[in-house]
Amino acid sequence: MGFRLTPQDPTFYELFAASARQLVEGAGELTALLGADGDEREVILGRMHEIEAAADEATHAIIRKVGGSFVTPFDRADIHALAVALDQCVDLMEAAVDLIVLYQVDEVLPRVAKQVEVIARMADLTHDAMPQLRSMKEMGAYWVEINRLENRANKQYRRMLADLFTAKKADAITVMKHKDIIDALEATANGFEHVARTVEAIAVRES
């Protein structure tokens, strides 16, 4: 790595932490949705929209900080890529919540709860990893665990597809609704893996 001045200003790390907090809050709302009734679901959806808006603002704050900074803690393109990847995870969780509410799905597939547990764990790990961006040390355990969880999510996704397409007396519209939901959850898990890969790439370049 070439010589680089590392600023003492902690603002970038604080902004990434603020962005990652939206992941944890979004995962909390997604979890709460599974046990909620119709009226509660509308309230949860409203909170999810607020979280998504806060995530957008956190992303814009990072990008504004990049534009106004002479020196950044690591490459500007990497900062932008990580900020966008974090925001995308919130967007994907919001999509899953939106679909469950809008489709008026009374009961999700049995394995959905396990998939949401994996997503919530990925959100916690990602949030906990953000302070480590300061030193880029000992982050390997983070992206290794995220990869393991994403593999687990992939397996559960395939099992849900199998359950869905082999269910007896399932009408086509119901199948389509459930498939859209589990696709959104799968995309969310993939989104967290993309964040981890982005962090790994940054760590490699900065080592």
Confidence at residue 1, expressed as pLDDT on a 0 to 100 scale: 41
Inside any domain, residue 176: yes
Chain centroid, CA 150 distance in Å: 12
Q: Which of the 8 DSSP states describes residue 168?
A: T
- pTM given for the model: 0.91
CATH code at 58? 1.20.58.220
Could you tell me the CA-to-CA distances from 61 to 42, 55, 132 in Å, in that order?
29, 10, 20
Dmax over CA atoms of the chain, in Å, equals 65
3-state DSSP assignment of residue 66: helix
Domain housing 109? 11-206
Inside any domain, residue 67: yes
Inside any domain, residue 66: yes
Chain centroid, CA 5 distance in Å: 31
CB 91 within 8 A of CB 112: no
* C-alpha gyration radius of the chain: 18
Inside any domain, residue 105: yes
How many folded domains does the chain comprise? 1
Tokens of 207: 């080592």
Which residues fall within 8 angstroms of residue 160, CB to CB, at 6 or more apart?
109, 111, 112, 115, 182
Task: Going from the first residue of the chain to its last (207 residues), give the mean pLDDT of each consecutive group of 10, the final group possibly shorter.
Answer: 49 90 97 91 96 95 84 84 96 96 90 96 96 84 96 97 87 93 97 96 85
Inside any domain, residue 1: no
Inside any domain, residue 3: no
Inside any domain, residue 143: yes
Tokens of 94: 């919001």
Inside any domain, residue 6: no
Q: How many CB atoms are closer than 10 A to CB 142?
A: 20
Confidence at residue 9, expressed as pLDDT on a 0 to 100 scale: 56
The string of pLDDT tens digits covering residues 18-71 is: 999 999 999 999 999 998 988 899 999 999 999 999 999 999 999 998 887 777
